[in-house]
Amino acid sequence: MSEEQNMAKMRAALVEQVRPPRPNGIATSLTFAWRALLKIKYVPEQLLDVTFFPVMFTLMFTYLFGGALAGSTSEYLQFLIPGILVQTVIFTTVYTGVSLNDDVSKGTFDRFRSLPIWSPSPLVGALIADAVRYTIASIIVIVLGLILGFRPTGSILEIVASIVLVLIFAFSLSWIFTVIGLILQTSKAVMGISMTFLFPVTFASNIFVDPATMPGWLRAAVNANPVSMLTTAIRGLMGGRAAVAEIIWVLIASAVLILIFSPATMYLYRNKR
């Protein structure tokens, strides 16, 4: 093919009036979710938080403190596994803000904003990818618990419902860390501030101990903690004694977090400089 013919085809392509259709929000969000998941292929240590840490916390609390807290490790295991499930997934939500902050600092963020796509797609895609990580963490905790002797009395449907409830709460909590990721300057700062927030929220809850033995003022604070509400609901579902009121409170808390922090995230996302 001659050079003139190549130039003619190039000119024809440049003046072509037909353009490919603009991708919809679902397609672009799934594309960004796939991008986030591909990072795991090249940086597999990203899965340490959903593999190593739940195993470490479960073994440590079961065999170091289980006998003292519940009289026997087997009895404590029935109390602990739903709580470890909650703690593991909640801790994983921090990486939403860390990843977003990395994109901002590397300039990738600005490239995404310049694309002709639904503007929240990068954020929604990242949250979808994180939901996959949360699911992996949940499965690891439950399988480990079953190996150690955890025996839920709830049905398979109730166990699946408990995982879904944790994922819903984790999704809502992730919006807090997207706000932090957009406000702070470095990923280390995001990690530090996020963990400073999460440690008291998770440890001042009923994940590891029954608040019945706590002082009255502390017991009231622990019972009002949304993490405690979630843990109680998960224990109820896995134990076959789920209370609808507990589940509704968790869903209300999740909705409140989304309504407050998702608009704040989008405002910061659009006006980030």
- Domains of the chain by residue range: 22-271
Question: Does residue 20 surpass a pLDDT of 70?
Answer: no
Is 198 within 8 Å of 91 (Cβ atoms)? yes
Is 184 within 8 Å of 190 (Cβ atoms)? yes
Q: CA angle, corner 120, sides to 108 and 168, nearest 5?
A: 115
> What string of DSSP letters covers 219-232?
HHHHHH-HHHHHHH
**Side-chain half-sphere exposure of 46, counting CA atoms within 13 A:** 21
User: What are the CA-CA distances from residue 250 to residues 125, 133, 136 (Å)?
Assistant: 24, 21, 21
Q: Which of 8-12, 23-27, 77-81, 240-244 has the lowest mean pLDDT?
A: 8-12
Question: Does residue 13 surpass a pLDDT of 70?
Answer: no
Name the token pair of 165: 């409830």
With 0-12 / 13-18 / 19 or more C-beta atoms within 10 angstroms meaning exposed / middle / buried, residue 90 is buried
| pLDDT digits 0-9 by tens, 208-257 | 888 888 888 988 999 889 999 999 999 999 988 877 888 999 999 999 99
| Per-residue pLDDT at 116 | 79
Residue ranges in 93-120 assigned as alpha helix (H): 94-106, 108-113
| Per-residue pLDDT at 1 | 54
Name which residue leads in pLDDT, 56 or 66. 56
**CA R_g for the chain:** 23
Question: Does residue 9 surpass a pLDDT of 80?
Answer: no
| Per-residue pLDDT at 172 | 92
**Side-chain half-sphere exposure of 146, counting CA atoms within 13 A:** 10
Question: Does residue 7 surpass a pLDDT of 80?
Answer: no
Cα separation, 13 vs 11, in Å, equals 5
Q: What share of the chain is helix, strand, coil (3-state, %, to 5)?
A: 80, 0, 20
Give the list of residues 6+ apart from residue 193 with CB closer than 8 angstroms, or none: 180, 184
Is 239 within 8 Å of 153 (Cβ atoms)? yes
| pLDDT digits 0-9 by tens, 167-176 | 999 999 999 9
